Structure 1
Amino acid sequence: MAFITYLLTRVDVLLFFSAFVAIFIYWFNGSKKSTAKMPPGPTPLPIIGNLHLMDLNKPHQSLMEMSKKYGEVFTLQFGPKKVVVIAGYKAVKEALVTRAEDFGDRAITPIFSITSNDHGVIFTNGELWKSMRRFTLSTLRDFGMGKKLLESKIQDEIIPFIEKIKSFNGKPFDTHITNYAISNVICAIIFGERFEYDDPTFQNLIRMIDENTRLVGTPKVMMFNWFPLIGSLLGLQKKVMQNIQGLQRFIVKCIKKRRLEYNANDIGGFIDAYLMKQEQESTKTETYFSEENLISSVLDLFGAGTETTSTTIRWGILLMMKYPEIQKKVQDEIKIHIKPGQLPTVEDRKKMPYTDAVIHEIQRFSNIVPLNVSHSTPTDVYFHGYCIPKGTEIIPLLTSVLYDKTQWKTPYDFNPNHFLDDNGKFVKHDAFIPFSVGRRACAGESLAKMELFLFFTGLLQAFTFHLPPGVSREDLNLKPAVGFVLAPTPYKTCAKLNY
């Protein structure tokens, strides 16, 4: 009996000592209780997680509301999947710029996995992504991105675009024709040629790009991303894939044509440059410059180079109708600095601070890619006192930056003064990141900035946009349509020729 009592006492001592050691290690490692947990968030329900808290037609607004309660970094659960949202200018900049390596991967999202098949430049990771992005940036620069050469290509497209608008003779028209003009710029870079606006093949391509951009942001496709097996029963991803396959068939046809006409001494576009790269890499046992990557990279450039800039211009026209006094101030500045009959140039932007401020404010206010394109963590990441496990999807919420109350005086109002000082001079703003920032920032940012200034200024030089008969300013709807990119709700405009 004494032996048993002694043994139990020794066991108690051992347990106490073990517990003490465990507590010491726990404390020594920086209090795992606070740093090893994922960021806070609402309690998930069984099966659906936090789905009941989301307005799937306006997910960015739901996330903005949650950030008020849970802070700059919070966790949500959709089905079995955990997602971390980063909100506010300071936190997003820290993640994407200061901690670029920690948040530098692209998230694996079911809809984008099946559309890209893990090829191309937007939805890939690792050495493949680095090679494709490096080549894409280099090639875009070779074809004039940020240079005078590209300026002339854009100016060449402004002329037929103005003529097309003239053909409506002041009657109401749908601004979707903007997509044709903007797309022709990226087409000239990719394929070495432009298309006529009434070309049925070209119109079908633009329709498929526009439709997919809308569909991938709809509730049914979001359900497919979070619950692939259940979401696949809804079938919307099949329509997305039909459009992708249609676009791919066109691209393959163009590649075959360019290959037949290929001349190393006459590189006319991105496809030609890629074919040259394939030729240079032909002796290597391993290369990333495969046919699949060519098709996907062209598709990435074609889609991104068409949709986002044209959507911004369409927001610009809508906002000029809504605020005619702002439109007039832009036109007054144009008259001072650009001679009649002369197209705007990039150099003019330096002399036109008000116009520049209006364009920037259109981008900020329209907030066309509200959720950003999701990132992920390549390793376990400690951020703001929390542990975010490897492979976690990260949403760097661009809405929370472009509408950050600590950065903008009137974030929910259209206000060009956000980019003007007291003397009317243009001022840059660190929280202006519509193209995102860091390693995954938009590769075509310089091209888009050039297009926005030249097209917007060229349009307001030629036309005054006003409301169709029977429509009042109060009737104009500034709420965006549902989609991955926030496009304006469909509207019509009338264009009065200024000369």
Structure 2
Amino acid sequence: MLGSVILLCISFSLFILFVRTRRPTNFPPGPRLIPIFGNLLQLNLVDLLNDLKKLSESYGKVYSIYLGRKPVVVLNGLQAMKEALVTQSVEFAGRPKDHIAIDLTERKGVVMTDGSIWKEHRRFALTTLRNFGMGKRSMEERILGEISYIVTHLEKNAGKTTDPQTLFHEATFNIICTVLFGTRYKHEDEFLQLNIHCIRETAKIINGPWSMIYEMLPLLRNLPLPFQKAFENRDLMKKSLGDQVSQHKKSWVPGEPWDLIDCYLDKMEKRGDDGSSFSEEQLVFYLLDLLFAGTDTSSNTLLTAFLYLMTHPDVQERCQKEIDEVLGEKEQVSFEDRHRMPYTQAVIHEVQRVADTVPLSVIHATTKDTRLMGYDIPKGTLVIPNLSSVLSEENQWKFPHEFNPSNFLNDEEEFVKPEAFMPFSAGSRVCLGEGLARMELFLILVTLLRRFKFVWPEEAGVPDYTPVFGVTQTPKTYRMGVRLRQFNSVNS
């Protein structure tokens, strides 16, 4: 008798949970829910992008999944992305209240904040980055200065193979550091190595299987499970960046900023106690956001670039021919030279497309009740912009499922950028560092292709283009063959 009562109670509880997690009226459709788990058990969290693609084929460009009892709307394809992120940018510009990325950043910084804090800090970042050379010749000089260290490393390995896995992370980290801290670091420096390690490791955890479990089962959050490593890394970075701020405060001269930290301290002093969101703790997370965004995406794109250039030697040779013709005896490349290099531009953009570096963007949330493509979406609903679906959308690209620079060339072999090219997202939440990333990719790739030939090592076997999934995707580890090549230069 007691067993029957217990079974009845369990069944009733599961029924209540099922009823409470049913989709609201006119909510985007999706797969059938399992009580407690939602759709988690139906998703392959190691190959999530493939599952999201299959769900779109079954339920349309806008559909929903549940992580436990938490509804999530997934956007797929250019039309849905534009309608949500551009046309209704205000309605879709929010961030969730409960998410692993929110907990990691403690709702501070700029990437995972919203409302007035986000607006103030995004405006400050855009202004400050522009003042420190974003898109200008001074930023070119910072980048070219860091490239010289890459060149030195590759020259030492000419005729051999080298492991590039941290080489580009070290370079992009240093470039953003010249803006944030007014300095660069030796590649063996403890500060540099610690932060790069934390960035790379955390990127694999966020959006991965353990972060999904973190979302769905809050009772497990304090257990010593793999997602705790992300919080340990966060604490290490907070400590190292806090030390940077403390050191800057000792040398800071108000009104005479040398870097972004000085500008922020000026802002704090100017605002005083007016209720501003500018604070020293906020500054630490602000730096963490900018370091993460400024390091991982560009470096992983560069790793993808050299994987494809090595395994597509015809593409590499055509780039080098164009580079040689355009630069001639010019000592250094300039960002302006891109306008005379349509094929190289096409290759760089095609690399960004296939790299699919931030496939699910950063999770959004609706700021008010709204409608999207005929569906009602309540305020506070989590929204995943599946950028990957746009970058490989069938009707948007000539060759959506292969590496082919022709995706960015018209019939006259002129460079064109299709509307569906949105690796940096779109709308009001578009990546802050897009301008810096574009300049880095062009200057680094052109400089290195001009000086070196890159070959796929014979002993490496068949190349594997399948990326390692995470909040940012990266190619699987590979080695790179380096050969010196002759080029015309006043210093050669």
CA–CA distance in 1 between the matches of 2:114 and 2:169? Answer: 30
1:110 touches 1:228 (CA, 8 Å); kept in 2?
no
Map of 1:241 onto structure 2: 231
CA–CA distance in 1 between the matches of 2:469 and 2:432? Answer: 25
Q: 1:188 aligns with which of 175, 178, 182?
A: 178
Q: 1:314 aligns with which of 290, 300, 303?
A: 303
Change (3 A) 1:109 1:461: farther
- Cα shift at 1:218: 2.3
Q: 2:271 aligns with which of 257, 271, 281?
A: 281
1:221 touches 1:231 (CA, 8 Å); kept in 2?
no
CA–CA distance in 1 between the matches of 2:222 and 2:49? Answer: 24
Counterparts of 1:169-188 in structure 2, within 5 Å, are: 169-176=158-165, 177-188=167-178
**1:470 is paired with a residue of what secondary structure?**
helix
Q: How much is the aligned-residue C-alpha RMSD, in angstroms?
A: 1.5
Is 1:223 aligned to residue 213 of structure 2? yes
Map of 1:214 onto structure 2: 204
Map of 2:4 onto structure 1: none
2:78 touches 2:390 (CA, 8 Å); kept in 1?
yes
- Cα shift at 1:168: 2.0
Pick which of 489-498 and 161-170 moved more.
161-170
Map of 1:463 onto structure 2: 452
**1:406 is paired with a residue of what secondary structure?**
helix
Map of 1:440 onto structure 2: 429
CA deviations on 1:284-328 (whole Å, 9 max, x unpaired) are 431110112101100000111000000000100000011010000
CA–CA distance in 1 between the matches of 2:362 and 2:290? Answer: 15
- Cα shift at 1:341: 6.5
**1:76 is paired with a residue of what secondary structure?**
strand
1:116 touches 1:123 (CA, 8 Å); kept in 2?
yes
1:217 touches 1:483 (CA, 8 Å); kept in 2?
yes
- Cα shift at 1:69: 0.9
Q: 1:201 aligns with which of 154, 172, 191?
A: 191
Map of 2:395 onto structure 1: 406
CA–CA distance in 2 between the matches of 1:158 and 1:90? Answer: 39
CA–CA distance in 1 between the matches of 2:222 and 2:157? Answer: 43
Map of 1:28 onto structure 2: none
CA–CA distance in 1 between the matches of 2:203 and 2:77? Answer: 25
**1:86 is paired with a residue of what secondary structure?**
strand
CA deviations on 1:198-235 (whole Å, 9 max, x unpaired) are 22331122111111111223211221122222354362
CA–CA distance in 2 between the matches of 1:359 and 1:231? Answer: 41
Q: 1:37 aligns with which of 26, 42, 54?
A: 26
CA–CA distance in 2 between the matches of 1:224 and 1:46? Answer: 17
Is 1:77 aligned to residue 63 of structure 2? no
CA–CA distance in 2 between the matches of 1:340 and 1:224? Answer: 56
Change (3 A) 1:231 1:59: farther
The AA in structure 1 aligned to 2:387 is L
The AA in structure 2 aligned to 1:183 is F
TM-score of the pair, normalised by structure 1: 0.90
2:345 touches 2:415 (CA, 8 Å); kept in 1?
yes
CA–CA distance in 2 between the matches of 1:353 and 1:154? Answer: 22
CA–CA distance in 1 between the matches of 2:395 and 2:143? Answer: 37
1:35 touches 1:386 (CA, 8 Å); kept in 2?
no
- Cα shift at 1:98: 0.6
Gaps of 5+ in 2: 1-22, 487-492
TM-score of the pair, normalised by structure 2: 0.92
CA–CA distance in 1 between the matches of 2:393 and 2:403? Answer: 14
1:379 touches 1:391 (CA, 8 Å); kept in 2?
yes
Q: 2:139 aligns with which of 150, 153, 177?
A: 150
**2:336 is paired with a residue of what secondary structure?**
helix
Counterparts of 1:84-483 in structure 2, within 5 Å, are: 84-176=73-165, 177-230=167-220, 232-233=222-223, 235-282=225-272, 284-340=273-329, 342-472=331-461, 475-483=462-470
CA–CA distance in 1 between the matches of 2:303 and 2:107? Answer: 32
Q: 1:486 aligns with which of 462, 466, 473?
A: 473
2:67 touches 2:212 (CA, 8 Å); kept in 1?
no
**2:227 is paired with a residue of what secondary structure?**
helix
The AA in structure 2 aligned to 1:198 is E
CA deviations on 1:467-499 (whole Å, 9 max, x unpaired) are 224234xx1100011322110011111111113
CA–CA distance in 1 between the matches of 2:169 and 2:342? Answer: 26
Counterparts of 1:21-60 in structure 2, within 5 Å, are: 36-60=25-49
The AA in structure 1 aligned to 2:51 is S
CA deviations on 1:406-434 (whole Å, 9 max, x unpaired) are 10121110010010011111012111000
CA–CA distance in 1 between the matches of 2:286 and 2:39? Answer: 35
Rg (Cα) greater in structure = 1
- Cα shift at 1:81: 0.7
CA–CA distance in 2 between the matches of 1:369 and 1:69? Answer: 24
Change (3 A) 1:212 1:398: same
Map of 1:23 onto structure 2: none
1:36 touches 1:386 (CA, 8 Å); kept in 2?
no
CA–CA distance in 1 between the matches of 2:64 and 2:100? Answer: 22
1:224 touches 1:232 (CA, 8 Å); kept in 2?
no
CA–CA distance in 1 between the matches of 2:327 and 2:110? Answer: 38
1:143 touches 1:189 (CA, 8 Å); kept in 2?
yes
CA–CA distance in 1 between the matches of 2:328 and 2:147? Answer: 16
Identity of paired residues, percent? 38
**2:394 is paired with a residue of what secondary structure?**
coil
CA–CA distance in 1 between the matches of 2:259 and 2:292? Answer: 16
Change (3 A) 1:246 1:35: closer
2:95 touches 2:112 (CA, 8 Å); kept in 1?
yes
